[in-house]
Amino acid sequence: MSYCLSRFQTLRRHTVEVKVGSVGVGGSHPIRVQSMTTSDTQDIDATVKQSIALAEVGCEIVRVTAPNVAAAHCLRDIRRHFTAAGFGHIPLVADIHFLPAAAMEAVEHVEKVRVNPGNYADKKKFAVKEYSDADYERELQRLHETFSPLVRRAAELGRSLRIGTNHGSLSDRIMNRYGDTPLGMVESALEFLRIARSHGFHALILSMKSSNPKVMIEAYRLLVDRMNGEDMHYPLHLGVTEAGDGEDGRIKSSIGIGSLLLDGLGDTIRVSLTEDSVYEIPVARAIADKVMSLWPAAAEPAATELADPVDPFHFARRATTTLELSPRCRVGPEQPPRVIVAVPSLAELPAAMAALASPRLKDTPPEGIMIPVQGPGDLAELCTLLPAQGLPCEFLGLDLAPSVRTELLRPLLAMSPGRILLARTFAADRLEELEEFTVLARETGQFLAVAIDPAEFAAFGPALRQLGDKNLLFTVAATAGRTGAAHAVGSYRQLAAGLAAAGSAAPIWIRNTAASAVKPGPDFLSRLTEASFLTGALLCDGLGDLVSIETEADPTRATRVAYNVLQGAGARISKTEFVACPSCGRTLFDLQTTTQRIRAQTGHLKGVKLAIMGCIVNGPGEMADADFGYVGGAPGKINLYVGKTCVQYNIPEAEADARLIALIREHAKWVDPDPATAPA
């Protein structure tokens, strides 16, 4: 694989070491966790206070926006006071958009400068223009002249630079030639990279951020692929921009950052949340610690004969057969990934069914409910329970213990009014059991979820070729052995590879269990991060047709997390998609309360994408593909957007919510909220 050493285990990419002040990034250093202040940079006291608060919760690199030369000048005193407070070892980074003069001032005072190649030397005009090769060359020359002074000064002062590309703010030149694509993002960074290298400057870190985890993942992979091709090995700063707040923000960040770290890519990370920045650090820490726990384990890829069928640079959902688990619930490539809830024991089934029948889950119900079956007693109880209770979902799953044999199941299958999904683990040395269960499923018109250890695929392959796809789906057994740097994402990728090799297009069920965790933790954040890693990384690879979050004992919460992860990966949209910037020194209104207020009014608009951005300098570019935008235009004034077009300017903030809703109505995207499903 040209961009990483292994897709089945985590082998860290080799990079050069870049020093940001005294903090080493890349090389043999741990993943560095960073964040950004949100205060007005010219309010020196507030910015120092926020920097100290970040450092005290474990932030290793602090970024501060420098929107103009005056703000950049303030970095001198911010650095001085921050050092005087005992944080001289924590580097500061200036965040620059549009103004080379601000960068030239900032580089004098702080350890690193981030430039956005989309706007460092270009004003955004959205001009439609064909660039001839000669025009393009002239543009590159202009870029060289504009960027070189910063590179030279950074070299003189021992500073580092980040070339920080954002999906939403590519230059017109790049947009015209490459479009709004991961390739465009990569080319944008490479232009700046080549200029820096032409001066012999190598203290470079790169980023490829987007609010869409799929785009971001593809862009970073492509960047590394291209850099490898040119023998360049600079460290990466990972982040999902405008991830929003709460559970959704944490999920999106964990999906994007986690996928890449599991690929072995990434040396410093920032989780962007629309919350006080100190809340970003525990999330970033959890992500980094989980992945770093895999690092010491292996230096070389384990030998495998399986060829990975996924194209890591272009998303395409895996083509599978379609299974009809009920007349209203089919599983397959044209269907959204289905949600299964696992009930821990038969005794808890009645309570779980009552919880799942709640109107709150009316729009996001689990399609399947799965019950563990340990033996004949459980089956007998199910026979009495099921007809009386009915099911609050489309199909029933039976998670069968290895001792449950086919003959025990026939009475229940004969009386079942609906379809049943039989889930069972099969060992490579008991292939006759796999055949028996396959025959049972086919004879009774039911379905079989085959759980196996993909490392044993060689033994299963011939049997699977004979059994074909009908009535079967596959998952990774909880008993699948993983050692060293191997992880569950790799196991599922191996499963997909094994199925491809066996000619099977059976669907894949992603089961989040205690056994699938990279590094289990007792808290909800840890479980949420693990669910985002596994399910999100696989969905962004195009793998996964059913999902269950079995680490959540509460069925309502397990359902909610499953839908939220599906939404975060863009695999199944069940509510409004919010793109909200984390805020910074440019922000013109209270982003956190505004985001919460707008979410409360519009959170039920399934499929609508709303952006809430703190400023017009960056906001309209960053919100890329949102349907509507609420953007700070001036202090106390809001601009409203439809797509990328500003349709209402300078609305008083007090009127902006109502005007936004009116705009959504005008464009026929509004529906009244259902009181039964509204949050309490």
**Contacting residues toward ligand SF4, per CB under 6 A:** 581-584, 586-587, 613-615, 617-619, 622
Helices marked H in 569-609:
591-602
How far, in Å, CA of 266 to CA of 208, rounded? 11
Report yes or no: 26 and 267 within 8 Å, Cβ to Cβ: yes
Phi, psi of 44 (to 5 degrees): -60, -45
Work out how close the CB of 244 gets to ligand SF4 at its nearest, in angstroms, rounded to a whole number: 12
Distance CA(28)–CA(42), nearest Å, equals 36
Q: How far is the CB of 296 from ligand SF4 (least distance, A)?
A: 36
Give the Cα separation of 37 and 47 in Å (integer): 7
DSSP reduced 3-state for 70: helix
- Alpha-carbon gap, residue 273 to 279, rounded angstroms: 8
Pick the closer one to ligand SF4 by CB: 1 or 69: 69
Q: Could you give the 3-state DSSP secondary structure of residue 205?
A: strand
Supply the minimum distance, in Å, between the C-beta of residue 609 and ligand SF4: 16
Q: Which is nearer to ligand SF4, 529 or 587 (CB)?
A: 587
Q: What is the CA radius of gyration of the chain?
A: 26
HEC letters along 277-342? HHHHHHHHHHHHHHHHCCHHHCCCCCCCCCCCCCCCCCCCCCCCCCEEEECCEEECCCCCCEEEEE
Q: Minimum distance between the CB of residue 258 and ligand SF4, rounded to whole angstroms?
A: 22
Positive or negative: CA dihedral 135, 140, 144, 146? positive
190/615 with CB nearer ligand SF4: 615
Nearer to ligand SF4, 584 or 663 (CB): 584
* Cα separation, 113 vs 151, whole angstroms: 10
Q: Considering beta carbons, is residue 248 or 552 the nearer one to ligand SF4?
A: 248
- Taking the complex as a whole, how short is the minimal distance between the CB of residue 203 and ligand SF4, in angstroms? 24
Of 8, 3, 5, the residue nearest 306 (C-alpha): 8
Identity of the residue, 508 or 613, whose beta carbon is nearer to ligand SF4 in the bound complex: 613
Q: How far is the CB of 178 from ligand SF4 (least distance, A)?
A: 23
Tell me the closest approach of the beta carbon of residue 615 to ligand SF4, in angstroms: 3
Between residues 271 and 562, which has the closer beta carbon with respect to ligand SF4?
A: 271
Q: Which long-range contacts (C-beta less than 8 Å, at least 24 apart) are formed by 655-659?
A: 656/630, 657/597, 657/598, 657/601
Q: Is the CB of 584 or the CB of 598 nearer to ligand SF4?
A: 584
Pick 548 or 592: Cβ nearer ligand SF4? 592
**Nearer residue to ligand SF4 within complex by CB, 423 or 612:** 612
How far is CA 593 from its chain centroid? Answer: 24
Distance CA(338)–CA(359), nearest Å, equals 19
CB of 676 to ligand SF4, least distance (A): 36
Tell me how far, at minimum, the Cβ of 614 lies from ligand SF4, in Å.
3
Q: From 20, 17, 15, select the one nearest 154 (Cα to Cα).
A: 20
Q: What does each C-alpha distance from 505 to 190, 328, 332, 423, 498 come to in angstroms? A: 39, 21, 10, 18, 10
Rounded Cα–Cα distance for residues 223 and 230 (Å): 11
Question: Do residues 19 and 315 touch, judged by C-beta distance below 8 A?
Answer: no
* Residue with Cβ nearer ligand SF4 (321 or 594): 594
Q: By CB neighbour count within 10 A (0-12 exposed, 13-18 middle, 19+ buried), where does 57 fall?
A: middle
47 neighbors 95 (Cβ within 8 angstroms) = no
Q: Which tokens sit at 18?
A: 């870049």
**Phi, then psi, of 423 in degrees rounded to 5:** -110, 130
User: In angstroms, rounded to a whole number, what is the distance separating the alpha carbons of residues 501 and 654?
Assistant: 60
* Least distance from ligand SF4 to the Cβ atom of residue 635, Å: 12
Closest CB to ligand SF4 among residues 564, 618: 618
Q: How far is the CB of 172 from ligand SF4 (least distance, A)?
A: 19
Distance between CA atoms of residues 242 and 629, nearest Å: 13
Minimum CB–partner distance for residue 666 and ligand SF4 (Å): 25
The tokens describing 164, both together, are 């920080």
Query: Smallest distance from the beta carbon of 340 to ligand SF4, in angstroms?
Result: 38
Closest separation between CB of residue 324 and ligand SF4, Å?
A: 46
Comparison of 529 and 592: residue with beta carbon closer to ligand SF4: 592
Cα 243 to Cα 251, 273, 400, 569: the distances in Å are 9, 6, 39, 12
Tokens of 525: 């954040």
In angstroms, give the least distance from the CB of 290 to ligand SF4: 27
* Between 533 and 630, CB nearer to ligand SF4: 630
Residue with smaller CB distance to ligand SF4, 542 or 614: 614
User: What is the smallest separation between the CB atom of 241 and ligand SF4, expressed in angstroms?
Assistant: 8
Q: Minimum Å distance from CB 585 to ligand SF4?
A: 7
Contact criterion met (CB below 8 Å) for 78 and 41: yes
Residue nearest to ligand SF4 (CB): 614
- Of the pair 450, 617, the CB lying nearest ligand SF4 is at 617
Residue 582: closest CA among 115, 241, 167 = 241
The residue whose two tokens read 């009244």 is 672
The answer to whether 262 and 537 are in contact (CB under 8 A) is: yes
Pick 286 or 581: Cβ nearer ligand SF4: 581
